[in-house]
Structure formats: structure tokens, C-alpha cells
């Protein structure tokens, strides 16, 4: 089976299993089950290989996911850089997101901050159950694989453009489209397709930083902001 076919099979099979998990599992366990499927797919496709393959897919996470001993200095440096990138982008993008949220949803009530039932569960759930598995698969495996395939194929879309220090190619819109369709299939609501747009930013950040650490943090922060706005405007619970 050729490399392109392997990627297509990986997308189709992972999406299919994720969809089954989303519908078959009880609501309280569906997100965990979906996250497990993504992580299992990433392990089979990337993490069971050597360090070179793991790093090529941006999945080192400061050495945590590489074979061998964890190097604390490398881990600390990667963690601080990821936090800096995620917080820096959040400071730029999140105010615009808040304005867009209000314009889109047009809440009937004024903002009144409503905290989650458990900060610990909310933050840990967004980081470990949602952001980590999704980013490991979509930005780690899929985006990296498409970039590699299309850069090597003589007849493929080889052109990359430099956007603020990141090499962006066709993998960005394609990965974002797959990301959006995956969200729609597991919950058939047209509004779910809107994740295509933050995915473009996630793809840029993965390319700019060379890994998925900052993307995982930004993804989780964006989800936490969205749920906080929804609760505080009385739109979601």
C-alpha cells in the first residue's frame, strides 16, 4: 500500500471508529472513548516508532513521548515555550473571539460569570481528553504526513508559503476540513463545521513551533473560553 493510501486509510478508519465510539458510548463516557481512539491511532501510526519519526510528526512533547529517559531541561524548555506561544496567541485572538461569540450567538442576557462544577475536571478534561488526542492525530499525524507526502511527490502540490515564520501548504486547509467534518459527523450540527477556522490557526502554530505542545494548550484554552462564555451568557450548561 502506498504512502498516500496509508494516510487515507488512517483518516477513514480512525474517523469511522471515533464516530462509532461517539454514538455507542454513554454520553458521560463518549468524550473519553473518542480521545482513547485518537491516542490509540497515534500510537499505532507514530509513537511505536523511533525518536526520529516521533519528532518528524511534532509529537515529542519535550521528550515525554520519545523512547528513553526524560531529559528535564529539555522538557522544561519545551513546556515554557509552549506556554509562551499559547498565551501570546490567546492574548491576540481571544478578545476577537469574544466579540465574534457575542455577534454570532446574540445572547439575550448580560454576561454574569458562571464557574464550572469543577475547575480541576474542566481543565484536565479539556487538556487530556480533548485537546491532546485531537491535536496528536490531526496536527501531529495528519498535517505532518500530508506535508511530507506533498513535498516529496513530483506531481503533488509542493508549494509552501511563509506566513509569519511558518511554512504553510495545502495540508493546512485539508487537515482543517477533515477536522471539521470529523466534528460534524460525531454531532450533526452545521455549527460544528465552524471549527475549520480555529483549525487553520492550530495548523499555523504547529508549523511555526515544530510541535503540538503549544497547539494542545491553545486548543484547550479556546474550549475553556467558549464554555465559560456559554455558561456566563446562559446559552449552555
Is 170 contained in some domain?
A: yes
Strand partners, 161: 168
Residue 202: how many CB atoms within 10 A of its CB? 28
Is 142 contained in some domain?
A: yes
Is 194 contained in some domain?
A: yes
Report pLDDT digits (tens) over 124-173.
999 999 999 999 999 999 999 999 988 766 665 567 899 999 999 999 99
Q: Which structural domain, as residue segments, surrounds residue 155?
A: 3-232
37-40's contacts with Cβ under 8 Å and 24+ in sequence apart are 37/133, 38/14, 38/133, 38/134, 38/136, 38/137, 39/132, 39/133, 39/136
Report pLDDT digits (tens) over 51-79.
999 999 999 999 999 998 889 999 999 99
The terminus-to-terminus CA distance of the chain in angstroms comes to: 46
- pLDDT computed for residue 2 by the predictor: 59
All three cell numbers of 201: 490557526
Report pLDDT digits (tens) over 173-185.
999 999 999 999 9
Is 21 contained in some domain?
A: yes
- The total number of structural domains in the chain stands at 1
Half-sphere exposure in the Cβ direction for 40 (13 Å, CA): 12
Report pLDDT digits (tens) over 180-224.
999 999 999 998 999 999 999 999 999 999 999 999 999 999 999
The whole model's pTM is what?
Answer: 0.94
Is 26 contained in some domain?
A: yes
Is 141 contained in some domain?
A: yes
| Residue-wise DSSP of the chain | --HHHHHHHHHHHHHHHHHHHHHHS-HHHHHHHHHHHHHHHHIIIIITS-HHHHHHTT--TTTTTSSS---HHHHHHHHHHHHHHHHHHHHHHHHHHHHHHHHHH--SS-------S-HHHHHHIIIIIIIHHHHIIIIIIIHHHHHHHHHH-TTS----EEETTEEE-THHHHHHHHHHHHHHHHS--GGGGGGHHHHHHHHHHHHHHSSSHHHHHHHHHHHHHHHHHHHHTTS--
At residue 235, what are phi and psi to the nearest 5 degrees?
-90, -40
Is 237 contained in some domain?
A: no
Amino acid at each position: 500500500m502506498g504512502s498516500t493510501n496509508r494516510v487515507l486509510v488512517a483518516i477513514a478508519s480512525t474517523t469511522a471508529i471515533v464516530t462509532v465510539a461517539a454514538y455507542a458510548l454513554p454520553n458521560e463516557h463518549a468524550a473519553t472513548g473518542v480521545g482513547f481512539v485518537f491516542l490509540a491511532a497515534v500510537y499505532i501510526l507514530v509513537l511505536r516508532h523511533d525518536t526520529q519519526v516521533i519528532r518528524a510528526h511534532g509529537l515529542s512533547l519535550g521528550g515525554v513521548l520519545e523512547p528513553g529517559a526524560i531529559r528535564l531541561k529539555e522538557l522544561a524548555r519545551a513546556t515554557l515555550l509552549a506556554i509562551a506561544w499559547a498565551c501570546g496567541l490567546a492574548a491576540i485572538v481571544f478578545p476577537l473571539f469574544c466579540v465574534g461569540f457575542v455577534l454570532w450567538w446574540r445572547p439575550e442576557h448580560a454576561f454574569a460569570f458562571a464557574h464550572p462544577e469543577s475547575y480541576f475536571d474542566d481543565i484536565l478534561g479539556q487538556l487530556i481528553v480533548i485537546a491532546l488526542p485531537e491535536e496528536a492525530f490531526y496536527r501531529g499525524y495528519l498535517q505532518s504526513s500530508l506535508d511530507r507526502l506533498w513535498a516529496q511527490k513530483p506531481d503533488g502540490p509542493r508549494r509552501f508559503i511563509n506566513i509569519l515564520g511558518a511554512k504553510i501548504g495545502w495540508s493546512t486547509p485539508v487537515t482543517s476540513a477533515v477536522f471539521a467534518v470529523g466534528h460534524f459527523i460525531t454531532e450533526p450540527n452545521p455549527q460544528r463545521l465552524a471549527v475549520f477556522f480555529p483549525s487553520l490557526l492550530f495548523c499555523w502554530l504547529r508549523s511555526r513551533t515544530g510541535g503540538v505542545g503549544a497547539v494542545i494548550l491553545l486548543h484547550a484554552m479556546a474550549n475553556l473560553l467558549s464554555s465559560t462564555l456559554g455558561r456566563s451568557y446562559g446559552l449552555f450548561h
